[in-house]
């Protein structure tokens, strides 16, 4: 018996993140923009911006019993505002109205936001990255214990910047490289700030697990999976050949891409040691 106890103690020290920090997750909580908006629900959302399920829906489909709370709103910026001019529905606004009702030790929060700040090349990427840190602080103040931050993909691969037949092509083609550079700057700053936050949490001895998962090259890698990667599908909810079209409209990917987003995220979370299931 004593030998067994000693072995268990050693395992806990050797693998603390697996044994202590990552319990089975019962609730997936999502904050963000149209890449995560599953449509109107009691938690929020405008619409589903694809021809089928978006990634949070695919995610929970893999784990029967896992509960989803999706607070994402299409057009959300990293502050309180929206790309379409409203002063509400942004990331900070979402978090201000978030009132956790479940055990935070079994809830995983995913934050994916920032594209709407940068698509016009007129934002401060550093401030947008800082807004993500502010969001982390706001959530941990409300008891969050497990947070995953996603870097931004290269949105300049979207048809808005590449399809000459679209009405706003000239405008977006002219700023394409600036947008690409701003996304790169945002991701670099976000990585730096999240690592600082992780060190601060570790130094303070807080039982908070913050992880960063890279999506910066995700869309680039996806282009090899589809025949048409520069033009949008008709923007309807019809379901064409899933391997033909990458983009649903000028900005948003097809549901097949969302399925791959979910798969990539699940793979990375498993590497970290997270498990998912029902209560």
How many Å apart are CA 253 and CA 181, to the nearest integer?
Answer: 21
With beta carbons less than 8 A apart as the criterion, state whether 59 and 265 touch: yes
User: What does R_g of the chain's alpha carbons equal in angstroms?
Assistant: 19
Residues facing residue 107 across a β-bridge? 27
Residue 6 is predicted with a pLDDT of 43
pTM of this structure:
0.91
pLDDT at 12: 38
Distances (CA, A) of 122 to 3, 92, 157, 218: 63, 20, 18, 24
Please state the φ and ψ torsions of residue 82, each to the nearest 5 degrees: -130, 150
Count of C-beta atoms within a 10 Å radius of residue 134: 16
Q: How big is the chain, counted in residues?
A: 279
C-beta of residue 55 within 8 angstroms of C-beta of residue 48: no
- Cα gap 25→278, rounded to integer Å: 8
Question: Between β-strands 209-213 and 24-25, what pairing exists: parallel, antiparallel or unpaired?
Answer: unpaired
* Stretches in the chain below the pLDDT threshold 70: 1-21, 279
Task: Give which of 102, 100, 101, 106 is closest to 24, Cα–Cα.
Answer: 106
pLDDT at 234: 84
The domain 23-276 is classified under which CATH number: 3.40.50.1110, 3.30.1330.10, 3.40.50.10470, 3.40.50.620?
3.40.50.1110
3-state secondary structure of 172: helix
**What are 156-207's pLDDT values in tens digits?**
999 999 999 999 999 999 999 999 999 999 999 999 999 999 999 999 989 9
The Cα–Cα gap between 257 and 242 comes to 9
pLDDT on residue 14: 43
């Amino acid at each position: 018996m004593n030998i067994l106890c000693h072995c268990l103690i050693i395992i806990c020290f050797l693998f603390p993140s697996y044994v202590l920090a990552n319990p089975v997750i019962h609730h997936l909580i999502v904050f963000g923009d149209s890449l995560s908006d599953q449509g109107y629900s009691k938690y929020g959302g405008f619409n589903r911006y694809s021809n089928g399920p978006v990634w949070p829906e695919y995610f929970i489909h893999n784990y029967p019993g896992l509960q989803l709370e999706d607070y994402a709103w299409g057009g959300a910026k990293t502050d309180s505002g929206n790309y379409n001019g409203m002063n509400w529905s942004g990331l900070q606004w979402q978090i201000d109205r978030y009132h956790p009702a479940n055990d935070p030790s079994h809830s995983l929060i995913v934050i994916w936001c920032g594209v709407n700040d940068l698509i016009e090349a007129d934002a401060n990427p550093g401030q947008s990255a800082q807004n993500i840190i502010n969001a982390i602080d706001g959530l941990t103040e409300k008891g969050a214990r497990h947070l995953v931050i996603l870097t931004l993909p290269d949105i300049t691969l979207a048809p808005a910047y590449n399809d000459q037949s679209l009405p706003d092509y000239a405008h977006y083609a002219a700023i394409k490289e600036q947008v690409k550079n701003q996304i790169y700057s945002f991701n670099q700053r976000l990585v730096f700030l999240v690592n600082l936050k992780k060190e601060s949490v570790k130094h303070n001895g807080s039982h908070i697990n913050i992880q960063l998962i890279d999506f910066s090259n995700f869309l680039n890698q996806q282009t090899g999976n589809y025949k048409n990667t520069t033009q949008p599908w008709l923007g309807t909810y019809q379901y064409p050949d899933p391997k033909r079209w990458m983009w649903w409209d000028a900005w948003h990917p097809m549901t097949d891409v969302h399925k791959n987003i979910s798969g990539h995220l699940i793979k990375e979370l498993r590497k970290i040691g997270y498990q998912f299931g029902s209560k």
